[in-house]
Structure 1
Amino acid sequence: MLSIIVPAYNEEEVLYEFYRRITGVLEGLGLPYELVFVNDGSRDDTLALLESLSRQDDRVVVIDLSRNFGKEIAVSAGIDFARGEAIVIIDADLQDPPELIPALVEQWRNGYDNIYARRISRDGESIIKKTTSFLFYRFIRGMTQIDIPADTGDFRLLSRRAVDALKQLPERNRFMKGLYAWIGYPAIAVDYKRDPRYAGETKWNYWKLWNFALEGITSFTEIPLKLASYIGGFVAFMAFCYGAYIIVDTIVFGNDVAGYPSLIVTILFLGGIQLIFIGILGEYLGRAFSETKRRPLYFVNKIIKK
């Protein structure tokens, strides 16, 4: 059986069209399937529409979370409840075309465990978002020892053994794109062109994207901490050299009062560097604190089946 995991947050405008398109694709595959919708605390009529779909189609399962936990947790919840020998993760906004699923299934049948959809174009998105996304993926790949594929999202097919491996990862701060790569197993890309949203508005503003980037960096690399040590050592060495220069200059030429502007600039520069790296330490410490509390990832309000 094939399980389709669909995280949904305020997607009332697109749900029926998404259901129509994806069921048409899945019927053509000839495989038994289930549609696992995860309602991530939607505030519109998303849950009511999902309940209606569940009454019409016994292959529709609705996992209603107790509140909005975020997309990464919603995907994790879907993974926990999916029963298929393979699962497909896809958003409901139709930017990722359901018509690509047969190509993912074909590669699964060829023996791959992680078949990820790679974007070769991103229609309907701003130049700023395209540029920052392009730079982020390449930046994080350069900083980590994990080969996180560039230009990919959650849209992918995972085999049962890949799913079972993901379910063993207990961390609360979840950067799923890194986790998909961390588990290993044979992986392959399937290229596609990403469409604009069918309806509604994106839930990702630039502030959320920034925090998401921080999540990814701090979850899979300690390089910012090492960088703090390297820069701190370099600045300390330069300060030592400059101090030696001041001593020699004072002995040879005497002391004067000049240098007040350069002194203030140096103090402000060093203070700024210290605050930046205190912030980096705080990010890592905050995530470590979150992990030590061992809270559950999510709570389920109800599970809806026909």
Structure 2
Amino acid sequence: MLADFVREVQRVTTHLPLTKKFILVNDGSSDDTLAVMKALAASSDDIFYLSFSRNFGKESAILAGLTYSEGDFVTLMDADLQDPPELLNDMYQKMTTENYDIVGCKRRNRQGEPAIRTFFANRFYSLINHISDQEIPSGVRDFRLMTRQVVDELLKLSEVNRFSKGLFAWAGFKAFYIDYDNVERQAGKSSWHFWQLVSYSIDGIVNFSDAPLNFATVTGFVSFVISLCLAAFYMTKTLLFGDPVQGFPTLIILMLLIGGLQLFSLGIIGKYIGKIFLETKHRPSYIIKEKNLD
């Protein structure tokens, strides 16, 4: 899709008073993507490429593209044409006439996606907007036009555990979102599997909310109160009615309940500690194997 993507962007933005440059990021693909990138770069002085040593993930690819960008305006786009290039005209017009710092795109619907994916995506946005201080509009994509100032400020955020949609919201600035109907990819299929999306959603929640930690604390406290109430109940029952507790089933149930809650809470705490551990390593977010720009 790369050649079609570049051709389509150039076609629909011909009249814009801008000098356009493309930075294509190859995130460790196993097909002929790099060869296509090299061919495109050889055919135009305005096309550049970065190729990672392996797959580092979408967030690293976004970071690399922003790092090597130089323009007064920078846009992020998927190369499968799910981000409609014709919207670039409206985005540029909105930014320059109404003085916005960010103009993004937000899908009105998810037509064409599996129903279960749509359901959980909507639940994720509802949850994170409820427990986080940063509002992330439902359906918003990484496809957005940004001023140089916005990009420079985002690049100052040196964290390894990145969730770009949250970072865009955290940075602030004057933003506007253009609604559009969902567009299906023109070729191929998504490499994102359901559980990868779940993991990515959990990372977003952990990165921008401490609500799970508060939940673990409250769960522990409630479990402690329940255990005290049960102890008082059975003690009173035995003293007043001389009814010995039939303890084996009760004991097993309580052990499984308390043990499960403890492990669940430890898992939440461990997720945060794991993120801290990754940050302390100071590993680079990506390694570039080949490129044609400085």
TM-score (structure 1 length as normaliser): 0.92
Per-residue deviation at 1:257?
4.4
Q: Which residue number corresponds to residue 88 of structure 2?
A: 101
Q: Going by fraction, where is strand more abundant, 1 or 2?
A: 1
CA distance in 2, matches of 1:39, 1:257: 66
Q: Partners in 1 of 2:52 and 2:94 — Cα distance?
A: 32
Shift of residue 93, structure 1, vs aligned partner: 1.0
**Which residue type is aligned with residue 210 of structure 2?**
E
2:145 is matched with 157
* CA deviation map 1:155-195 (0-9, x unaligned): 11111111011000011010010000000011111111121
Kept in 1, the 8 Å contact 2:238–2:245? The answer is no
Equivalent pair of 1:122/1:196 in contact (CA under 8 Å): no
Q: Is the 8 A contact 1:63 1:300 kept in 2?
A: yes
| Match of residue 55 from structure 2 | 68
- Structure 2 SS opposite 1:231: helix
Equivalent pairs, count: 292
TM score, norm. by length of structure 2: 0.96
Question: How far apart, CA to CA, are the structure 2 residues paired with 1:25 and 1:235?
Answer: 60
1:123 to 111, 125, 131: 111
2:190 paired residue among 202, 205, 208:
202
Q: How many Å apart are 1:66 and its aligned residue?
A: 1.9
- Displacement, 1:259? 4.3
On the 8 A contact 1:124/1:197 being kept in 2, the answer is: no
Judge conservation of contact 1:119–1:192 (CA < 8 Å) in 2: yes
- Alignment of 1:37 with 2:24, yes or no, is yes
Superposed, 1:246-257 pairs within 5 Å as: 246-257=234-245
1:289 maps to 2:277 = yes
Separation in 2, partners of 1:240, 1:184: 47
Give the Cα separation in 2 of the matches to 1:294 and 1:158. 28
Unaligned runs of 5+ in 1: 1-13
- 2 CA distance for matches of 1:296 and 1:26? 35
- Where does residue 124 of structure 2 map in the other structure? 136
Please give the alpha-carbon distance, in whole angstroms, between the structure 2 residues aligned to 1:27 and 1:42: 30
The correspondence of residues 119-268 of structure 1 with structure 2, limited to 5 A, is 119-268=107-256
Distance in 2, matches of 1:177 and 1:257, equals: 55
Q: Which deviates more from structure 2 when the two are superposed, residues 47-56 or residues 247-256?
A: 247-256
Tell me the secondary structure at the aligned position of residue 172 of structure 1. Answer: coil
Conserved? CA contact 1:97–1:194, under 8 Å? no
Structure 2: distance between partners of 1:92 and 1:289: 33
* Aligned position for 1:79: 66
Shift of 1:150: 1.7
Offset, 1:278: 1.0
Runs of 4+ residues deviating >3 angstroms: none
- Structure 2 gap ranges (5+): none
Kindly state the Cα deviation for residue 140 of structure 1 after the two structures are TM-superposed: 0.6
1:117·1:190 contact (CA, 8 Å) conserved in 2? yes
Counterpart residue type for residue 150 of structure 2? A
Distance 1:123 1:15 in 2: 24
Please state whether the residue corresponding to 2:48 is helix, strand or coil: strand
Q: Tell me if the contact between 2:52 and 2:289 (Cα under 8 Å) persists in the aligned partners.
A: yes
Given residue 138 of structure 1, which amino acid in structure 2 is its aligned partner?
Answer: S
- Cα RMSD (Å): 1.2
Distance 2:162 2:39 in 1: 31
Residue type of the partner of 2:225?
F
Residues 1:16 and 2:3 are matched in the alignment: yes
Give the distance between the partners of 2:159 and 2:241, measured in 1 at CA: 61
- Percent sequence identity over aligned pairs: 39
* C-alpha separation in 2, matches of 1:207 and 1:71: 15
Contact 2:109 2:139 in 1 (8 A): no
Residues 244/257 of structure 1: CA separation in 2 closer, same or farther (3 Å cut): closer
Partner-residue secondary structure (3-state), 1:146 = coil
Amino acid at match of 2:38: E
SS in 2 for 1:150: coil
